[in-house]
Amino acid sequence: MNALRIGIAGLGTVGVSTVQVIEQHKELLAKRAGRPIKIVAVSARSRTLDRGIDISSYRWCDDSAEMADADDIDLVIELIGGSDGIAKVLAEKALAAGKHIVTANKALIAHHGTALAEIAEKSGAAIYCEAAVAGGIPILKALREGLAGNQISRVYGILNGTCNYILTEMRDTGRTFDDVLLEAQKLGYAEADPTFDVDGIDTAHKLAILSAISFGTKVDFEGIYVEGIREIAPIDIEFAEELGFGIKLLGIASKNGDEIEQRVHACMVPIDAPINHVEGSFNAVVADGDFVVSVLHEGRGAGGGPTASAVIADVIDIARGHRVPLFGIPATELEAVPTRGMNHHKGAYYVRFNVVDESGVLADIARALTDHKVSMESVLQRSRDPNQIVPVVMTLHETEEAAMRRAVDQISKIGAVVEPPVVIRIEEF
């Protein structure tokens, strides 16, 4: 059988690992794919950079978009990154020309996945993105195929290893967010500009893809509520453990009637919940289905090896002629479903106020909660000398987000409240 001829656009960590897998496992991959897999061309920013691999036998493309027009390329592996620019141009041109696309680019799929799937289906090409979500965990294939007999009601998970590493280290060492972030950058777990990771954007990109596959809907990145973890302090982790919880940054998507709720934020999860035991830089995804009930997939969510493993899994599917729509159903059948605004979210809450320890403060806070019909479940306060700043922690019974926000805004205007309150949602998994 003829070889599947590949062009690789992007030779960063994942691109290099992908080349290594294809070259080191050439015979094994040919057996599993039913045909040889051959790299024909590569493209990257620099031709002369020492990447630790030999690329001299591959044709070099100064412009990766050349691959879309090349007669000797059947499949393009897009590892450039970014939601727009050359990555988008390459994907669109290649798919329109009938060439298959395998990508690890979550931003591209989160913003343009529906449109790219439509182009692919018109030309008869395949587009797969297993590597875009949770690295080496084969979660997209699991949702799209392994759980195809289920109506998925909720999918959630730890989708960013950097944040999970930071929260784990803060818990284990008692150090601040800023201190652990600096260490994570030195170790290579966090980028020099960590915004996408710690502010939840990376998680939101991945959640948009999970949500579309789980519910058969058009990708709706703009409909995701996003918060990061910058405001979490060691004292919040201490209080969480005292209350029987751990803190994780989660992406959560659920189908509620004719609406979808998509949100990314720090959560307090029960200390014995399986997802609370996912440590360090590991990722995990949980899917709730009507027949399977609940399944958890855990593994390494980033890094060259795990991500390249996911890339190659997609390549083998295409080599074998296995075709499944990107989101599980044809792009033309994906629904445009309204997103439930975060103000309508209902749940329990943890709130920490830093206040001057003086008479009447708790009464003022309680009055504000009563004004907005928000009910307290518990109060924790660590005493200090009078007139010193002390943390007051409350857990609130299930209430609507809008009411909780109005109450917290009112409380923040009390003179004795000296810092913006910290709010963490409580999830009962």
Catalytically active residues are: 206
Closest CA to 275 of 142, 168, 129: 168
Q: Is 293 helix (H, G, I), strand (E, B) or coil?
A: strand
Q: How do 422-426 and 346-356 pair as beta strands?
A: antiparallel
Q: Burial, 52: exposed, middle or buried (Cβ in 10 Å; 0-12, 13-18, 19+)?
A: exposed
First-to-final CA distance of the chain: 49
Helix (H) or strand (E) holding 253: strand 245-256
Q: How do 245-256 and 152-158 pair as beta strands?
A: antiparallel
Going by the DSSP 8-state scheme, the letter that residue 146 receives in this structure is I
Helix (H) or strand (E) holding 49: none
Helix (H) or strand (E) holding 338: none
Sign of CA dihedral 154, 158, 163, 168: positive
Closest CA to 378 of 300, 251, 224, 268: 268
Distances 124 to 94, 117, 240, 307, 312 between C-alpha atoms, Å: 12, 10, 51, 26, 21
Tokens 């343009």 sit on residue: 112
Q: How far apart are CA 176 and CA 166, in angstroms?
A: 9
Closest CA to 327 of 206, 209, 224: 209
Distances 297 to 110, 131, 202, 224 between C-alpha atoms, Å: 21, 14, 19, 23
Q: What are 9's strand-pairing partners? A: 43, 78
Sign of CA dihedral 164, 169, 172, 177: negative
Tokens 């777990």 sit on residue: 189
